[in-house]
Amino acid sequence: MTLIDKACAILEKTNDGNDLTPQHLKLTENAVNGFLNDKGLEAFEELYKKVKSGEYKRPAYLGVEFMDRDHEGYVYFKGEDVEHYSSFYAFSYSAQADLKVLQNKCLFMEQIKQSVKNHMQCDWEFGGEFAEDFCKSQKEKLDMTANGNTLLFSMVKMGAVDKFVLPGHPPAHRVTESRFYRENCEFQHSDNRNFTVTAYSYGSGAYREATADELVLIQSCFAYLRDKEFIREDNSETRNFDRQPTVIAYEPPVEEEAEEDCEI
């Protein structure tokens, strides 16, 4: 069979490609157009074999269980559309972090037998109907994982909108070396690299950095923890750089954190 024949077979068995991930659909398109190198051809052959045998399963979007995204950008939880992520943002580290928070909200809404489409009702800052119960549930999980320790984390703000959390109380150079900072510098519309990093602590006992899972829980209910004074602001530092364009090397999420880009 030619590459075109195999591509047609893949599309036929995947609802005209709608059941493929965006990466696998692009891989198939590149095969038809003759744009694949040896490694890409191997990946395409593996895709063809999996689709032909019926073994192909669309992986979870960005590795987050129960989550999916279609080719138009609509994000789904267990088949129900709950959000929309634009293409320029959809495969970023920030999207992955937000997706995990969205998953937590949807799981909670499912648990209390409410429509997951109404996940915004879990938002504390917007005064959601179920926000307090949701935030309390996240805090309970956080307390269990903290296990009597004091968790250290930091909130980094860049401009009026962009923000992300990091474990511990990192110095400025660690902030600028972080994947989130590099990504924001790459995709921000302005060349402003300034940021403010605020160090927080949560709990009591021995100090340790918050884990990745704990950071998700913190992000899920940060405003609630702040307003109820469950977290303490330890210090804050602002860094101002010359507003000069800079070249920041962007590295996409690794395979275990998000879907791997197709080889071409």
Q: pLDDT digits over 26-47, tens only?
A: 999 999 999 999 999 999 999 9
Q: What is the pLDDT of residue 253?
A: 53
> pLDDT value at position 11?
94
How large is the average pLDDT for residues 140-165? 94
pLDDT for position 261: 45
Q: How far apart are CA 97 and CA 217, in angstroms?
A: 11
> What pLDDT does residue 191 have?
54
Residue with more model confidence, 64 or 159: 64
Q: What is the DSSP string of 21-64?
A: -HHHHHHHHHHHHT---HHHHHHHHHHHHHHHHT---PPPGGG-
Question: What pTM was estimated for this model as a whole?
Answer: 0.79
Per-residue confidence (pLDDT) for residue 221, from 0 to 100: 97
Question: Looking at residue 19, what is its pLDDT?
Answer: 87
Q: What is the pLDDT of residue 184?
A: 86
pLDDT higher than 90, residue 49: yes
Mean pLDDT of 131-141: 98
The per-residue pLDDT of the chain, averaged, comes to: 89
> Distance between the two ends of the chain, CA-based, in angstroms?
20
Of the ranges 19-28, 97-106, 174-183, 253-262, which one carries the lowest mean pLDDT score? Answer: 253-262
Q: How high is the pLDDT of residue 264? A: 41
> What span, in angstroms and rounded, lies between the C-alpha atoms of 174 and 125?
29
Residue 240: which pLDDT band, with cuts at 50, 70 and 90? confident
pLDDT tens digits, 82-95: 999 998 899 999 99
> What pLDDT digit, counting tens, does each position of 160-217 carry?
778 999 999 999 999 999 999 998 888 755 456 889 999 999 999 999 999 999 999 9
Could you tell me which residues come within 8 angstroms of residue 169 by beta carbon, excluding any fewer than 6 positions away? 152, 154, 199, 234, 235
* Least-confidence region, from 57-71, 140-154, 187-201: 187-201
Which band of pLDDT confidence, cut at 50, 70 and 90, is reported for residue 242? low
Tell me which of 252 and 228 has the higher pLDDT: 228
User: Which phi and psi (to 5°) does residue 158 adopt?
Assistant: -125, 110
